[in-house]
Amino acid sequence: MRRYNAFKAVFENDAHVAFWFAGMQNGVSMDATGMVSSLTKAEKASLLAGASHWKTNSLESHGVSAVVFSDGPHGLRKQDNGADHLGIHKSNPATCFPTASALACSFNEALIEEVGAAIGEEARDQKVDVVLGPGVNMKRSPLCGRNFEYFSEDPYLSGALGTAMVRGIQSRGVGACVKHLAGNNQEHARMVGDSVIDERALREIYLAPFERVVREAKPWAVMTGYNRLNGTYCSQYPWLLRDVLRGEWGFDGAVVSDWGAMSQSVASVAAGLDVCMPGPRADHIQAIDDAVSSGGLSSDALDEAAFHVLDLERKARRGRKTPFECDYALHGEIAYRAACESAVLLENDGILPLGRAEKVAVIGSFALLPRYQGAGSSKIDPVHLDDPWSAFLDAGADVGYARGYDAASGDSSEELLKEATVLAAQSDVAVVFAGLPDRFESEGFDRKLMVMPKGHVELIERVCAANPRTVVVLQGGSPMEMPWRSRPAAILLMYLSGCRGGHAAVDILFGRVNPSGKLAETWPVRLQDTALGRSFPDTDREVLYRESIYVGYRYFDAAGIEPAYPFGFGRSYTSFSYSDPAVSFVGGGMEASCTVTNTGACEGAEAVQLYIESHGRATFGELRRLVAFSKVRLAPGESARVCMHIDEQAFRFWDSREHRWRIDEGRYGVLFCASSRDVHLTCDVVLDAGEGASPFFVETMRPCASERAALAPYYEVVPGGFSDAAFVTLFGEALPPRRPVKPFTPDSPVSDLGATFLGRQAFRIVDFLMARQAKRMSDDMKAMMDEIAADMPLRSFTSAGIPFGVVEGLVDVLNGHWVSGIARVVRPGL
C-alpha cells in the first residue's frame, strides 16, 4: 500500500500524466488508456478536432466511433439537415421545457433533475451522445442577452440547480457539457472581450457554480467560454483548465471549446483543451501533429487530450447500451408541471384566482403567439406547443380577444389600443399578455435598456384605466422596468415557460394550480439601481468587474437599495408561517430546521430559503448569502419539519492575500427566509477556532486596517461607488494589457477592419458569408446577426467552412504582407 500511495503521489503531481492514474481506477478509463498507446501521433491528433459541426472524428480501424453533440439547455436541438449554432436552421422536433431563468424559480432540484432526465431520453431517442448544457454563468446584469439561458444571480442556487440538471441528463446514459467556463457574462464582444475579475469574486461568484457541478455531478464534459479571462483566452488558460478544473476540483472528463472559441491550437492543447469544435479543422490537427514532432508540444499533452476524447467516446458507447424509454407526451406533462412550479406571482390584490363565470378580455398578441423560449443556440422546434388563448377555450371560459400590439416588434397603434380598451371595459376582468419580444433579447447581443416595448407599456396603462380589474401576465427571459406595476390588480410572471406555458398560465389564473415560484434574480425598479447601471455592456474589450462580489441581491443589500421585487420573492394563494428554528452540528456539517405551516385555505408549496450572515468579519462581504433551500408542499392546516444541510462552503470566503479558502471564527446568523428581504426566523451559531470546537476548520480573524482604507468602496458600498482606481487596488496586480488594433491577428474582430483601407474591403467577405445565411432569416434576425458579425474574430470564419489558412492569408494581407498573404489565400495549406 505504501508503494501504491507513493506511485499515486508521483503521478498526481504531474498535470500531464495524472490522467494515467485516473485510468487505473475505472474500467472505461482503463480501456481508453490502453487505446492511447496503440494510436499513431497523427491518429491521436485527429481526435482533437471535430469532424463536422456536431460530431467528433472517428477511428473506424480502432473501433472508435464519433461522439455526437447537440445543443440542449432546456430541450434538444438536434440538426440533421443544415448545421449552425445560432438557431438559424431547423432542428428535429423536441420538447421545449421552460428556460433556465424560469426553471430556477421553482427552487426544486428534484423537478429540474426530472427535466434533465427527459432531455436525456430525447437525446437517446435522437442518437445524441452529449447535450451542451446546462449553462451556469452568473447574471451579472439584467441586460445580458443570454440571461434566459442561465439560472440565477446567486452562485449557490446556480450550482445546485446545475448539479440537478446534469444528474438528470446523465442518468439516461447521455453526457452533459456544463458551460461556459468562465466569466462569460456579456454577449457584446463575447468572442474577443477580456473579463477582468478580482481573485475573490472569481472564486466566490463566477467559479463557484462550476465547482459545485463538477464535484457533485461529475459531468462528462465542460465547455470553455469564448472570452479571455484576466488576459488569457479560456480555451488556452492552464491555470483555469489544469490547476483549478482538474487539479483542485478533480474533473476527469473532456474539455470542449465553445463553437469557434479556440484561439491558438498548440497553446490550447498545452493548456488542457481536448476538443476543438466545430469541425472539420484539418489545420488544427496538422498544427498539433507538427508541434509534437518539433518539440513545441509535449507528447504527454497530446496523449492526455486523446485519452479524454477516447474516454468520452467509451462513456458514450456504454451509454448507448443503457435501456431507456422516450415518451414525448409524458415529457409534455413534465414541461407543464415545470412551467406551473416556475411561475412567480408578483402582485395580487385578491382578484386571483379568477371566478369561472367571469367574462375575460384576453389582450395581447402573446396570448396567441406566446414568447416561450429564447433565441440563438438554444432555439428549439417544439414537438408540441400550446398558447394561452387555446387554454382559455379549453377551460370553457367566456372570453374575447384583442391583439393589442404587433407580436414581432411590440409596437401598437391607436386602432389596436382602442379595440383592447373597449373589450376590457365590456368584460368582468382583463388579462394582458405582455413582456419582451424575441428581438429584445438573444444570444449574441445584449439589451441596451431594461425597458419593455413602448406599445406593451401603453397597452397595459390604457387597459388598466379602462378596467381596474386587470391582470398582467409577463413573458420574457429577464427583468424589465415596470413603471406601471401599481396599476394592475395582479401580475403573474411566467418568464419563458416552454411549450406548455399557455395552459400553465391559465390554470394558475383560474386557481387549478397555486403558484409557488420564487425569483431567482432581483428585479430592480430601474436599470440605474443595479451595480452596473448603464455601463453594461462594457464597450471596452477589457471588461472590468468593478463591483467584485456585489452581484444581484448582494449589491442591493450592501448599497441599501430597495428593489421592485427581491431575490427569492413570490406570492401564493395561501399563506405560511415559520416556527421552532433549530441549528445543530451533525457529522462534518450543520443541520438547520424549522416548522412550516400552511395557514391558508388551499394547498400550496413554500420554498424555504436559508441565509448566513456574519456578525463580524475580517474583510468586506455581503450582508447575507443563500446557503440552502428546501421546498415543501402542504395541505391547509398541515405542518412539516423542513431540514437543510449546511456545509463549510456556507461560511468560507476566499482570502486573496493567501490565495486560499478560509473560515473566520465568530458569531454567524442563520436566517430562515421567504426571500432575501423577508426574514422569518433567526438562530445564532458561534464558530470557534479552538480544536474540535466546530465541524469546520476555523481560523482566528485577522483584520487588516490598511486594506480597509485602501478598499473603502467595498467595505462601505454606496450606489455608483465602484471606481476604476478602487478596482485596480482590489485586483492587486497590473491589469492585463489592452490589445492594440494593429497588427491584425486571427483574433482581431471584424469591427477592427475598418481601421484600414484593406480592412474595409475585407468587409465584403463578411457580407458574402452573411448573405448565404441571411436568406433564411427574418429582418429582426438579420439585424441581430449584423451586430454579432461586428464582434466576430476573423478566426470564426472557420465555423462557416473557410479554411484557417485562408484566414491567416487575410491577416497577412491586412498587415501589408501581400505576397505571402495572397499565396496562403490561394493555397491555404502553405
Does 411 qualify as catalytic in the annotation? no
Residue 54: the pLDDT is: 95
pLDDT band at 822; cut points 50, 70, 90: confident
d(CA 650, CA 631): 19
Tell whether the model's pLDDT for residue 21 goes beyond 60: no
pLDDT digit string (tens) for 457-515?
A: 999 999 999 999 999 999 999 999 999 999 999 999 999 999 999 999 999 999 999 99
Q: DSSP string covering 158-194, please?
A: HHHHHHHHHHHHHTTT-EEEEEEETT----TTTTT-E
Tell whether the model's pLDDT for residue 375 goes beyond 90: no
Q: Choosing from 71, 84, 129, 258, which is the catalytic residue? A: 258
Strand partners for 642: 594
Q: Which of 332, 335, 341, 334 is nearest to 514 (CA)?
A: 341
Q: 227-231, 339-343, 379-383: which has the minimum mean pLDDT?
A: 379-383
Question: What cell numbers appear for 360 in the block?
Answer: 375575460
Q: DSSP string covering 375-392, please?
A: SSTT---BSS---HHHHH
Q: Which of 114, 161, 96, 779 is nearest to 373 (CA)?
A: 96
The type of residue at 718 is V
Residue 783: the pLDDT is: 64
Which alpha helices (H) appear in 687-816, and where do they start and end? 705-710, 712-715, 724-731, 757-774, 779-791, 804-814
pLDDT digit string (tens) for 749-783?
A: 888 887 787 777 766 666 665 666 666 666 666 66
Mean pLDDT of 376-380: 81
Mean pLDDT of 584-604: 94
pLDDT digit string (tens) for 665-719?
A: 999 999 999 999 999 999 999 998 776 667 788 888 777 777 888 899 999 999 9
What average pLDDT does the structure give for the chain? Answer: 91
Tell whether the model's pLDDT for residue 194 goes beyond 60: yes
Q: 121-130, 133-142, 198-207, 538-547: which has the minimum mean pLDDT?
A: 538-547
Tell whether the model's pLDDT for residue 296 goes beyond 70: yes
pLDDT digit string (tens) for 442-472?
A: 887 888 999 999 999 999 999 999 999 999 9
Whether the Cβ atoms of residue 607 and residue 107 lie closer than 8 Å to each other: yes
